[in-house]
Amino acid sequence: MKRILMTGLAALAASLVAQTASADITVYTAGPGGLAKALVEGFTKETGINVNLFQATTGKVMARLKAEESNPQADVVVSASWATATAFAEQDLLLPYASPNAASVPDFLKTDTAVAQGVASLAIAWNPKSDTPRPTDWADLDKAEYKDMVTMPDPAQSGSAFELVAALDANGKADLFDGLHANGLLVAGANAAALNPVLQGAKAAVFGAVDYISLGAKAKGESIDVIFPTSGTVVAPRPIMILKSTQHADEAKKFVDYVLSDAGQEAVAAVYLMPSRTDVSAQRPTISELKLLPMDSDEAYGKRAEILKAFDTAFGR
């Protein structure tokens, strides 16, 4: 009996050690589901650590985190907006971590508590079969040729669209929205709601399309061109963060390391995001090839309500 008891205790101890050595982690991520799945599968294959994945829009991810704030479930969070990293850091919700794989990530894409998984930018997504002239800049889309043929993500629902609106406002181009409204621009919901009518041929162009989504659609044979406006655009870094509430800090750090590894960054590049590491090749134009509109993000988010109110006024909402 004693031998059986000791054998049972030894087995239990071994099981507990095994669980401790390879605890599951929970990752909440916004953005492309294919990328999230590829990163999770690659990470588990390399480390043996399983991942509980929740993939949704940034709004749904934030809502779930809010609902669970008294009993946090996530270990790692990936957002489509850098503002999330800033806000979470200010609320002291993040665990400081500097991954050794982040050495070639530019300083403006990392802090003590967050680092960019990858970077998107905003563009004009135009359907060349739309019988409209090819646009080259934002202002082209308020011309008569595009009457009732342009969509835009709602900046109240899309963080990247808000940053474009804020950047245009900061650069003295807020009156552009008056012309777009007069020209029949449709403010849709989130990014997909703006892009789908253009892919379907019902509309001609998206003002402020998230570029990697349209680039991916083009690669699959869709009739869509991605045009980076001559006057400039904005980029949208996608931060990955470890929550301070995690019970699995070592495993969470390993996940961040994997996302920033060669394999992880190649997976990022495969969905037409810019890798955050400058030594990993992109499959699309990178930050150094784009003209950027200058903007103070902290100032913009500090004035978010004011900027959105002005936008709503321009569109009679």
For 72, counting Cβ atoms within 10 Å of its Cβ (0-12 exposed, 13-18 middle, 19+ buried), the class is: middle
- Residue bearing the bigger pLDDT, 12 or 30: 30
Note the pLDDT tens digit of each residue in 262-292. 999 999 999 999 999 999 999 999 999 999 9
Res. 12 pLDDT band, cuts 50 70 90? very low
Calpha distance 227→125 (Å, rounded): 6
Helix pair 211-219, 191-199: axis angle to 10 deg? 30
Asked whether residue 17 carries a pLDDT value surpassing 90, the answer given is: no
Alpha helices by DSSP H, listed for 120-271, are 159-170, 176-182, 191-199, 211-219, 249-259, 262-270
Average pLDDT over residues 118-139: 98
| 123 and 285 Cβ atoms separated by less than 8 Å | no
pLDDT-above-70 percentage for the chain: 93
Res. 306 pLDDT band, cuts 50 70 90? very high
Note the pLDDT tens digit of each residue in 134-152. 999 999 999 999 999 999 9
Average pLDDT over residues 226-240: 97
Q: How many CB atoms lie within 10 A of CB 104?
A: 13
Res. 15 pLDDT band, cuts 50 70 90? very low
pLDDT-above-90 percentage for the chain: 83
Calpha distance 295→298 (Å, rounded): 9
Res. 301 pLDDT band, cuts 50 70 90? confident
The pLDDT mean for the chain works out to 92
Q: Which residues make beta-bridge pairs with 115?
A: 110, 240
CA–centroid distance for 175 within its chain? 28
Calpha distance 97→89 (Å, rounded): 12
Asked whether residue 11 carries a pLDDT value surpassing 60, the answer given is: no
Asked whether residue 22 carries a pLDDT value surpassing 70, the answer given is: no
Average pLDDT over residues 83-96: 96
Taken in order of first residue, the domains within the chain and their CATH numbers are 2-119+236-283 (3.40.190.10), 120-235+290-314 (3.40.190.10)
Calpha distance 99→255 (Å, rounded): 10
pLDDT for 6 equals 46
Average pLDDT over residues 31-42: 95
- Residue bearing the bigger pLDDT, 48 or 8: 48
Structure tokens at 196: 């789908």
Distant-in-sequence, close-in-space partners of 110: CB < 8 Å, separation ≥ 6: 98, 102, 116, 276
Full-model pTM: 0.88
Structure tokens at 192: 């997909």
Res. 5 pLDDT band, cuts 50 70 90? very low
Distant-in-sequence, close-in-space partners of 92: CB < 8 Å, separation ≥ 6: 244
| 26 and 52 Cβ atoms separated by less than 8 Å | yes
